[in-house]
Amino acid sequence: MRPPAGVADRVSSTMSPERIKRIGVLTGGGDCPGLNAVIRAVAKTAMLQYGIEVMGIEDGFLGLVENRVRPLTFKDVSGILTRGGTILGSNNKCNPRRFATGTAADGSPIFSNVTPQCLDSIRAHRLDAIIVIGGDGTMAAASTFVHAGINVIGIPKTIDNDLVGTEISFGFLTAVATATEALDRLHSTADSHHRVMVCEVMGRNAGWIALTAGVASGSDMILIPEIPYDEGSIASYINRRMDSGPGFAIVVVAEGATSRGGSQSVARIDLSSSEPIRLGGIGQRVADSIAARTSAEVRTTVLGHIVRGGTPIAADRILATNFGFHAMKVLMEGARGRLVVRESNAYGDIDLLTSAGQQRRVSPGNPLITAARAIGTSFGDSEELSSVLPGSSGASSPSAVW
């Protein structure tokens, strides 16, 4: 990764900063807390620091397809720092290279490449560059415009925290805070009724939300896609905790988690979307397995889109503001096709194409996993407690661990 100040080796065919008079900004993919904070930072920096006009592209790339682009005034972007969602709207189905334009006789969608329409919109509104705010799917769609010669600067947005090239994306910390609060509430009711509470959280193929919120809430078991779980190990752990421990358990499950040798739980398939697989149902599957293998009373909660909503916490507001400022800074330094990132707590930028369509997943050796295992948290892959119980061969009473 290159720090923003090191611009000498960027693409040589850059647009001179003084030629940039008008930019577009769009928010693509799923919504998340902090989108408005980024729009605010981009627009205010453009207007106040560089005298650049800012055009808002509505509903992600769909706004370019349908030519729905409007000016953003200083008033439009004032007072929106604390608001959740996005004032521009978003869309997680529109990929201009594969856009559903009709329905075939068998009911399946017909896809077309509508990139030319998007380019017409860009030319019609005289956009010298586009600030694209989104995750891996949005950046994959944005790569189409990079290849077409449009200057695109990306800003990483996803509650899943799975964008390659950056250690964090805005929206993630608020999602974790929301999930943690929910798990805290489940803790008290689980304790009162001596139940096992299984909570399913978002994250797609990455376990960042489940891992982080699970550790923050003191969850007893964390199941993530990167560590396939074993139903027997889960049952053994639950039995020990219910019989000799505190008599209740909190299990947080990432929506993409799988059993050893099993497959992900798919809620539905949306063929009209560029990402047709919709995960869901793994929480109930785990709960059913626990109920069948133990005598515990089990309940299931699915947080779903709750973790996407609400006002961003302070850390996300700051992160979003920094990302928005650095996106404009990188653009005005003459960069093209870059993604603003943060690594080792320092802001920089990388080639946008290197992160498009990829996912950053949790390493099984992540330090947070190591720390969680050390305090007795199970990841469902083995009977971790047998190695940490006091006494010889793990034969002592499990109650000493709790």
Q: 283: helix, coil or strand?
A: helix
Q: Taken in order 350, 173, 299, 197, is the CA torsion positive or negative? A: positive
> Parallel, antiparallel, or unpaired for β 346-351 and 338-343?
antiparallel
Q: How far apart are CA 41 and CA 47, in angstroms?
A: 10
Tally of CB atoms within 10 A around 224: 29
Q: Is 160 noted as a catalytic residue in this protein?
A: yes
Token digits of residue 1: 């990764």
CA distances (Å), 60 to each of 48, 125, 305, in order?
25, 16, 19
Q: How far apart are CA 229 and CA 252, in angstroms?
A: 13
Given 59, 128, 136, 160, which residue is catalytic? 160
Beta bridge partners of 53: 22
Contact in structure between 110 and 120 (CB atoms under 8 Å): no
CA angle (216, 138, 322) in 5-degree steps: 55
DSSP state string for 35-47: HHHHHHHHHHHHH
> Parallel, antiparallel, or unpaired for β 266-269 and 277-279?
antiparallel
- Alpha-carbon 385 to chain mean position: 31
Residue linked to tokens 């943690």: 180
Dihedral angle, C-alpha 303, 309, 310, 315, nearest 10 ° = 90
Q: Which residues are catalytic?
A: 160
